[in-house]
C-alpha cells in the first residue's frame, strides 16, 4: 500500500527507515519537495554534524569512510552517509554504488547509506545533497558523512555543505602538486595521507605541511596532517580524535555557528534560484512566453529585454 505524504512525514520523525528512503527519493526526483517537507515538520533539530571527505580518485575515500563509520558506531552515534557517485550518462543514477563497499553496515539500523548521482553538478555534489542532510537531521542522525566523487577541480563545493572537510591524498607521484593545483589545499580542515605503507608517504605529508604553512589562516588551531592505512585500520583512532578535537574547538570559539550561518545565506540564494526556475517552467507553457521567445529567435528582442519581461510575467502570475 502506498503511503500518504502525511504518513511519510510521521514515519520520518519517528525513525522509520522506509519513510526516510522514500522521502530521499522524492527530493532526488523533485528538488522542490524539500519545501513541502520542511513546512510539514514542526522544527528541524539542527543537531547533525556534517563531515565532508574529498580527494582525488583512488585515494581510498570509501574505505576510509567505512572505518570512520565503525569508530563512530563504537561511540553509539547514529550515522548517515551520502556517497556522491559519478552519474550514469543514460539514467542519471549513481554508477559506482559505494554501498557495496560498506556492506557490513547494511544490517545496522543506526547507519543509513545512500548513493546519489552527481548528475553533472560542477561541485561534484548532487544538488539534492543539502536536502538529504536536512532529512537525516530530522530523522535523528548525529553525524552525516558526505563522500564526494573525487574529480579534482570540481571538488571544492564540499566546503559549502560541510562542518569539517577531510582531504584524502595518497603518496603517488605528483599527488601533492595536483592537490595544490585543484585548490584542495584551501578547503581542508584535516589532511590525510592514506595508504601510508606506500613509498613516499612521509615525503607527501611533509609537502602538505609546508603548503599549509604558507596559507594565511586566522584560525588559532593548527591544521594537522595525519597518515593512515584505512584498509588495515591503522591511524583511524588518531584520525577520529582529530575530528572530534576540531569539532570541539570550533564549537567553543563560535566558528562552527558562524560557518553554519554563512551556509544558510548561501543556501537561501540557491533555494530562491530553484524556486524561480520552477516558476519559470510553469510560465514557459503560456502563450505570452512562447511569443516572446519567438521574437527573440527572430532577432526582434534582446535577451536583456526578455529577462525584464519574464520577471513581469512571474509577478503577474503571483
pLDDT (tens digit per residue) in 193-237: 999 999 889 988 988 888 888 776 666 678 899 999 999 999 999
Q: What is the mean pLDDT of the chain?
A: 84
Domain boundary among 253, 275, 305: 253
- What pLDDT is recorded for position 89? 38
Whether 52 and 166 have beta carbons less than 8 Å apart is answered as yes
Residue 119 has pLDDT above 80, yes or no: no
State whether 110 and 147 are in the same domain.
Answer: yes
pLDDT of residue 164: 95
Query: Quick one: CA torsion of 157, 158, 164, 169, rounded to 10 degrees?
Result: -110
Greatest alpha-carbon span in the chain: 67
Does the pLDDT at position 62 exceed 60? yes
pLDDT above 90: residue 44? no
For 202-314, strand residue ranges (E) read 224-227
pLDDT at 126: 60
Percent residues over pLDDT 70 in the chain:
83
What is the structure's pLDDT at 93? 44
Per-residue pLDDT of 242-292, as tens digits, reads: 999 999 999 999 999 999 998 888 888 877 887 888 788 888 888 888 899
In a domain, 147, yes or no: yes
Domain presence at residue 231: yes
Last residue of a domain, which of 232, 253, 274? 253
Query: What is the per-residue pLDDT for 257?
Result: 93
Same domain? 58 vs 191: yes
Residue 217 sits in the same domain as residue 295: no
Asked whether residue 151 carries a pLDDT value surpassing 60, the answer given is no
For range 104-111, the mean pLDDT: 84
32 has pLDDT over 90: no
How far does Cα 312 stand from its chain's mean position?
35
Determine the structural domain holding residue 295 and report its residue range: 264-317
Amino acid at each position: 500500500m502506498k503511503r500518504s505524504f502525511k504518513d511519510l512525514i510521521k514515519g520520518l520523525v519517528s525513525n522509520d527507515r522506509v519513510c526516510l528512503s522514500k522521502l530521499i527519493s522524492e527530493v532526488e526526483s523533485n528538488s522542490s519537495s524539500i519545501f513541502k517537507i520542511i513546512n510539514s515538520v514542526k522544527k528541524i533539530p539542527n543537531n547533525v554534524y556534517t563531515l565532508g571527505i574529498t580527494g582525488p580518485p583512488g585515494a581510498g575515500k570509501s574505505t576510509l569512510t567505512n572505518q570512520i563509520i565503525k569508530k563512530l558506531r563504537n561511540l553509539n552515534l547514529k550515522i548517515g552517509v551520502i556517497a556522491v557517485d559519478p552519474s550514469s550518462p543514460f539514467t542519471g543514477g549513481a554508477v559506482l554504488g559505494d554501498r557495496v563497499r560498506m556492506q557490513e553496515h547494511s544490517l545496522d539500523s543506526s547507519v543509513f547509506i545512500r548513493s546519489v548521482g552527481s548528475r553533472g553538478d560542477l561541485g561534484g555534489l548532487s544538488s539534492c545533497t543539502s536536502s538529504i542532510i536536512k532529512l537525516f537531521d530530522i530523522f535523528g542522525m548525529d553525524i552525516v558523512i558526505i563522500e564526494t566523487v573525487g574529480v579534482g577541480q570540481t571538488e571544492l563545493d564540499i566546503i559549502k555543505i560541510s562542518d569539517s572537510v577531510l582531504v584524502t591524498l595518497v603518496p603517488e607521484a605528483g599527488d601533492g602538486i595536483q592537490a595544490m593545483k585543484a585548490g584542495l589545499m584551501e578547503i581542508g580542515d584535516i589532511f590525510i595521507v592514506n595508504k601510508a605503507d606506500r613509498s613516499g608517504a612521509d615525503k607527501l605529508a611533509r609537502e602538505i605541511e609546508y603548503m599549509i604553512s604558507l596559507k594565511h589562516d586566522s584560525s588559532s588551531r593548527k591544521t594537522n596532517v595525519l597518515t593512515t592505512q584505512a584498509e588495515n585500520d591503522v591511524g583511524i583512532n588518531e584520525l577520529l580524535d582529530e575530528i572530534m578535537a576540531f569539532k570541539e574547538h570550533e564549537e567553543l570559539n563560535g566558528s562552527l555557528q558562524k560557518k553554519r550561518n554563512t551556509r544558510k545565506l548561501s543556501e537561501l540564494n540557491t533555494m530562491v534560484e530553484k524556486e524561480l526556475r520552477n516558476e519559470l517552467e510553469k510560465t514557459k507553457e503560456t502563450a505570452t512566453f512562447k511569443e516572446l521567445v519567438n521574437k527573440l529567435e527572430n532577432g526582434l528582442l534582446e535577451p536583456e529585454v526578455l529577462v525584464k519581461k519574464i520577471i513581469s510575467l512571474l509577478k503577474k502570475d503571483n
